Structure 1
Amino acid sequence: MEASEERVTDTDLTVVSFNVNGIRAARRRGFDDWLTARDADVIGLQELRCGIDDVDRFGDYTAAVDVGTIPGRNGVAILTRTAPAAVRTWQTHPPKARGLNAFAAEGRYVEVDLADTPLTVANIYLPKGGLPAELQRPGSMREKPDGGAKYLRKQRFLAAFARELQRNRLAARRAGREFLLLGDLNVAHLEHDVTNWRAARKMEGFLPEEREWFGQITGPRRLVDVVRALHGDRPGPLTWWSWAGESFVKDVGWRIDHQLATPALARRARWVEVDKEAAPELRLSDHAPLVVGYGEIDG
């Protein structure tokens, strides 16, 4: 377990973001035991990769879910101890930003208003994307070159989601609520967020334009990168490691799972931990749960 310098005990809200890389597979590896032991208040899950019948049991938690319409792909959920006051997905509440409707049925976004705390929590699974055409080299890629199609699709998503995110953040403020975005953004922002950052500059997820986008949606007057603020100006904490090779053992990975909070909420963040398993055979997913503890959130 990788943690901030000292875990503070005056925590009123423990929040997790976790890409499970298939909830059925994660359950076979011990997800339910982790869920009980972690005992968090709010949990955002990404990449459920299942049908609706597979997400009907999360212990005592209430699940707000959008599995999407693409079999075996995507899917997001937010688990809360108490049923939320409101639930919004892009299928029940279509996004208003131009360009996002093309993604609305893919199971990428769910948002809840907590019933017992003045907080709106959103959970996103952002497209992985690909390389622009000029960086694609046949024979050196895992996938067949596509002329930059996946790259362009992700760029369209990023531009539209930035507008939608701004709209949703401001809507929460008008309602007297703080706003917290959880999720796998498939973007690492800083050099500290990738082990081999020099090589990563020509990889999807760490391209200059993706890093610039991350910088545009964050800032002291917008959304604060809570984990970086707590962890400080040093490498990590990593949250994703390839299944291949010894990346996990050697801790060669990326920080692409995030919690972005409105400034007042970010000031209440007390500690951050990554529930990295002790050994490769114990892994629940290729990601590890990202956990942040927040102090009391005023109404």
Structure 2
Amino acid sequence: MRIGTHNVNGIRAALRRGFRDYWDRTGADVIALQEVRCRVGDLPLEAFAGYHVTLDAGELAGRNGVAVLTREKPAHVRALSESATTVAPDGEPEEVDAERIISRDLATFAGEGRYVEVDLADAPLRVASLYLPKGSAWPYAEDGEEKYQRKMRFMRGLARVLTASRREAAAQGREFLVMGDFNVAHTRQDLKAWRTNQRSEGFLPEEREWFGTLLSPRSLVDVVRRLHPDANGPYSWWSWRGQSWTTDAGWRIDYHLASPGLAGRATRAWVGREETYEGRISDHSPVLVDYSL
């Protein structure tokens, strides 16, 4: 089973830049999307042909939005909000009741379209798509305390949600996989310019420490790092500005975190870095893993 994640930075712009052509070539069975950034009524349905779409678009026009694309209609949907949108292959968007994820820390984020889960109908697997807030480098950025505290609160709540969902999935005989844009580079291997970014959001010591608490041989495994233990990167995000793309001065902030049983079945992992700057679909490149399921 081929599974991928992609922060598209706006699905309509990504479609114009070759989103559909790329994913048609990969033949992915499951795709997690972040920053869909589109109202339900404006979705370019041609981007999703052949897939069942489960989307939490959020309430903020032109911002955020997460989705999971699957070959079969999901058996169950969970989200921070009480409803989600589904689109059948070649169908129209339809609002469905979703099981609401209860979290005191995440309650204020319920309308932002940042997290959605589906239970696959054709495999014993629960899949989540995540878009974690970017945050701020406070106290180094003096006016960023509110954004910093929001990110800390989200991370605190998310850790509890991931633990509970993973355990619930296991009780049902399912593996668990959360993918998406975590907006954190975990180690020095995950950021080329780590020396000059130690006071930057996404590489703060407390962010990196939090990320480490998610990982263990009995909880969640960083699948790409497991398969590429000694590599710098592979990076998944490069700024549109400057020469970061040309010099490969990137960040690895897009992850597959899997329950140990699923991680052990991962056979190949790679970043779909486009061949040219002009051919980029987004400022993030897709991250794909083949799992032997």
Amino acid at match of 2:21: D
Distance in 1 separating the partners of 2:101 and 2:203? 26
Q: Does 1:114 align with 2:104?
A: no
TM-score, structure 2 normalization: 0.92
Q: Aligned with 1:158: secondary structure?
A: helix
Q: Does 1:250 align with 2:256?
A: no
Q: Aligned with 2:160: secondary structure?
A: helix
Q: Look up the match of 1:126.
A: 132
1:94 CA displacement? 2.9
Q: Does 1:223 align with 2:213?
A: no
1:271 CA displacement? 0.5
Distance in 1 separating the partners of 2:144 and 2:253? 25
Between 168-177 and 92-101, report the one with greater CA deviation.
92-101
Q: Aligned with 1:180: secondary structure?
A: strand
Distance in 1 separating the partners of 2:69 and 2:44? 11
Across the aligned residues of Structure 1 and Structure 2, the Cα RMSD in angstroms comes to 1.0
Distance in 2 separating the partners of 1:83 and 1:282? 32
User: Where in structure 2 are the equivalents of 1:78-93 lying within 5 Å?
Assistant: 78-92=68-82, 93=99
Q: Aligned with 2:164: secondary structure?
A: helix
Distance in 2 separating the partners of 1:117 and 1:87? 15
TM-score, structure 1 normalization: 0.90
Q: Look up the match of 2:45.
A: 56
Distance in 1 separating the partners of 2:230 and 2:25? 30
State how many pairs are aligned: 275
Higher-RCO chain (CA-CA 8 Å, sequence separation at least 6): 1
Q: Look up the match of 1:31.
A: 19
Amino acid at match of 2:159: A
In structure 1, runs of 5+ residues without a counterpart are 1-12, 137-144
User: Where in structure 2 are the equivalents of 1:170-209 lying within 5 Å?
Assistant: 170-209=167-206
Distance in 1 separating the partners of 2:128 and 2:14? 22
Is contact 1:95-1:104 (8 Å) kept?
A: no
Hey, which bits of structure 1, 4+ residues long, moved more than 3 A? none
1:84 CA displacement? 1.1
1:190 CA displacement? 0.7
Deviations 1:14-46 (A, max 9, x none): 000100000011011111111211110000000
Residues 176 and 283 (structure 1 numbering): CA distance in 2 closer, same or farther, change over 3 Å?
same
Distance in 2 separating the partners of 1:124 and 1:68? 13
1:192 CA displacement? 0.2
1:55 CA displacement? 5.2
Distance in 1 separating the partners of 2:264 and 2:12? 36
Q: Look up the match of 1:161.
A: 158
Is contact 2:80-2:102 (8 Å) kept?
A: no
